[in-house]
Amino acid sequence: MTQETILIGLAGVLAAAAPVIFAVLGETLSERAGVINLSMNGTILLSAMGGFAAAYTTDNIVLGFLAGMLIGALVALVVAFASITLKQSQVAVGFVLALTCRDLSYFLGNPYMGLPGPRLQAIPIPVLGDIPVIGQLFFRQDPITYISFVAIFLAWVWIFRTRPGLMLQGIGEKPAAAFIRGANVNLMRYVYTVIGGALIGLAGPAYSLAIRAGWMGTISGLDGIGWIALSITIFGGWNPSRAAFGAYLFAFLQWLGLVLQPVLTQVPSQVLQVAPFPLMILTLLLVNIGDAEWVERALAAMPENTRKIMVKLLRAMRASPPAALGVPFERD
Amino acid sequence: MQSKLSSLFDAFLPVIATLAALAVGAVMLLFLKVNPLEAYAALWDGAFGSANSFAETLVKATPLLLVALGICISFRGDVINIGGEGQMIIGAVLATWVGLTLTGLPGWLAITLAMLAGFLGGAVWGGIPGILKAYFRVNEILSTVMMNAIAVQLMNFLLRGPMIDPSQAELASKIPQTARLLDIFHLPRLAPTRLHLGALIAVVLAILVYILLWRTTAGYRIRAVGQNPNASRYAGIKVPRYVVLALLLSGAFAGLAGAVQVYGVNYRMITDGSSSGFTGSAGFNGIVAALFGQLHPIWSIPASILFGALLVGANKMQRVVQVPSALITVLNGLVVIFVVSSEIWRRRRQRRRLAAAPVEESPPEEDQPNVQTKEANQ
């Protein structure tokens, strides 16, 4: 394999990760505020379909992306209403929505199956795109990929470097304390869930109008992406930069599977197709293992030096969710 | 008198919610320029119109009920098992393998062994995420979803390779399916319809699950762990053990559903590459049925029949008024969302009733099972 094809492949990995990044950032915001939006898998499909349909009918690609965001925001609003106002189980509502939105997308998307639609073109950035390796990797992408780069940075700055972001952390960790500090906890949860939903809704058109242009119904291969994005959110420890790393890692592994397929001919194709899933389970295991009781006991029994190293290692991998995740807030 | 009326209203809330969902569906049908009355008449006719169609409804309801029973156990234990699809597949694969290997056995024995194999296969596929959750703190929603994907690819591999029908292997078409089970291995029919013994098994198991959850120590502990893991631990319950048990049993029932589907309906396993090709999404719809049945094994019976009827009726509706049957899966979702949302009225009125009640009455208590999941606990 030449350096050229590897570079093209890696640039493709960055582009392929863009939708997952939007989804993961959206879910991170929502969960930071304390609301699990489990509908993600269905939302991505529905917004992919809706975004494509809108762009196809209006012949305006920007409208397609906006439609996707609107759909994501509306689904998130249902989740927020059911969990914040009705205090229902977020998991139950989210899961049902995940199924319903998926079926709804197949059902409503029927007329748009396989139509040739608009597609986002790559726009190389003038000077930066000419830098040898880096330019090819980062600056000859399509606009939505550029936006994904910026979004990671913005989300990180917002959560960790601004006052409202600090409040957001408070709402998810200790809503009662945030309330005393003057935050309208439930309103803020609504806002962040809906904004997060809009971001998740951006993931759909990022597929159907860019990477995998068009709407192919059940065979579009988008079913399941949302669940992967959900585990990347956890892997990312509710931190945008680490989540982005997870998304890129996943896209890279998928690309690796494709590249290796012709080389490893004796391995059944199913093994490579399925490999990301056990790998995701393994990463989730590594991220959480430090919290397990028996691990703590085992650590205590270790000699001092090994224990220090192990503790450091486990702490580096560890990711704890916002303490009030999934818990309705009631002031009393 | 008034309180009696109002508790009657509570009992009918799911029905009212279902009607509301159907009303929304009617609007969608109008958008498709279809007369909703005509469409729903076809739906009803398809599901209950004749003995045959009613039997068909029950046949569809059987795997839903079996999956729902497992969901009742796991959700009561605050373990969210989304892996019904994968567990069904593994159960079915193992049961099929038993039936195709032990061809020398008498029918009743082979069927019993196959059902056990299905139960076991599902238990293993549910037990893995259970152990991952209990001892490695891996979120079970995610691990079960991943296990689904793995099971589907495993099925595709086995049905295209080692387990392929020998006669298909010689043909060029190579349809990914196993050989057909011997006739004596089929689950007996209950009537001159397609209704098979599996439906009866499911109903008996529903009663057993009720007994398990409310009349045995293990069931009590599963529910205790679901309500409050910390309090359970202080009470001396080994929490991780019951988390594993809940997921394991949940998977086992789904695995049994897969085995019943093979031995009662298809008599072989066949794949179209996706999971729903074999399961018909029963692994997911069973969750919906269990939620609709308020996570109660007995109430899950009518809930499963309702969703079975919707699925069977959908085919007829599709034929008569030419609407995509996907509309029905949308309706399924709407029904649950409406049922879940209708809770708010029930609670609000309950609060009002309590406020109006004389003081010496018993203190207010939360009568809802706590299925609120906290990822923070994992």
Per-residue model confidence as pLDDT tens digits over B26-61: 888 888 888 889 889 998 999 999 989 999 999 999
State how far the Cα of A91 lies from the Cα of B326, in Å rounded to an integer: 23
Domain limits of chain A? 3-252
CA distance A82 to chain B (A): 7
- The residue of B317, B328, B337, B368 whose CB has the most chain A CBs within 10 angstroms, and thus the best one to mutate to test that interface, is B337
Place of tokens 């119904």: A217
Q: Which helix (H) or strand (E) holds A320?
A: none
Which residue from B minimizes the CA distance to A86? B344
CA distance A119 to chain B (A): 28
Contact list in B for residue A82 (CB cut-off 8 A) is 337, 340-341
State how far the Cα of A317 lies from the Cα of B346, in Å rounded to an integer: 45
State how far the Cα of B114 lies from the Cα of B97, in Å rounded to an integer: 8
pLDDT of residue B5: 65
Per-residue model confidence as pLDDT tens digits over A204-238: 999 999 888 889 877 777 887 888 898 889 888 89
Q: Quick check: A288 and B161 CB within 8 A?
A: no
Q: Determine the average pLDDT of the residues in A4-25.
A: 91
Domain limits of chain B? 63-316
Q: Quick check: B371 and A92 CB within 8 A?
A: yes
Asked if B156 and A270 touch (Cβ cutoff 8 Å), the reply is: yes
Q: In this complex, is the C-beta atom of B137 within 8 Å of any C-beta atom belonging to chain A? A: yes
pLDDT of residue B201: 95
Per-residue model confidence as pLDDT tens digits over B277-300: 788 888 888 988 888 888 899 999
Q: In this complex, is the C-beta atom of B138 within 8 Å of any C-beta atom belonging to chain A? A: yes
Q: Quick check: A326 and B374 CB within 8 A?
A: yes
pTM reported for the whole predicted model: 0.81
Q: How many CB atoms lie within 10 A of CB A271?
A: 14
Span A3-252: which CATH code? 1.10.3470
Per-residue model confidence as pLDDT tens digits over A109-161: 888 888 888 888 888 888 888 888 888 888 888 899 999 999 999 999 999 99
Say how many CB pairs under 8 Å bridge A and B.
Answer: 149
For residues A161-194, one letter each, b for 16 or more C-beta atoms within 10 angstroms of the residue's C-beta and e for the rest, the string is: eeeebebbbbbbbebeebbeeebebbebbbbbbb
Which residue from A minimizes the CA distance to B155? A270
Complex ipTM above 0.85?
Answer: no
